[in-house]
Amino acid sequence: MGKLYFKNTSKEEKSFHPQAKKETIEFLLNYSKALDVFEYKEVKFEMMLN
């Protein structure tokens, strides 16, 4: 009977839990705070506030 071979999972692969980085989430929250949408003559404009 043929032998079955499996690739050993590396430590990095074992510890990896897919989730977004903290920095990405922080960026999104800051982006949201900075983004302002206003309407002028029925047209919506986006503006980034510093």
Partner 1 sequence: MNYTKVTDATLVRDYLDGNENALGALINRHHHRIYSFIFSKVYDRDIAEDIFQDTFIKVIRTLKRGKYNEEGKFLPWVMRISHNLVIDHFRKNKRMPKFDNSGDFNIFSVLSDGDLNAEKQLIKDQIESDVQELIKELPEDQLEVLTMRIYKDMSFKEISERTGVSINTALGRMRYALINLRKIIEKRNLILTN
Catalog residues that contact partner 1 under the rule CB under 8 A.
18-21, 24-25, 27-29, 31-33, 35-37, 44, 46
Q: How far is the CB of 5 from partner 1 (least distance, A)?
A: 17
Q: How far is the CB of 25 from partner 1 (least distance, A)?
A: 6
Q: Which is nearer to partner 1, 9 or 28 (CB)?
A: 28
Residue 39 makes CB contacts below 8 A (sequence gap 6+) with 45
Q: Which of 23, 21, 46, 24 is nearest to 35 (CA)?
A: 46
Instruction: State both tokens at 2.
Output: 């043929």
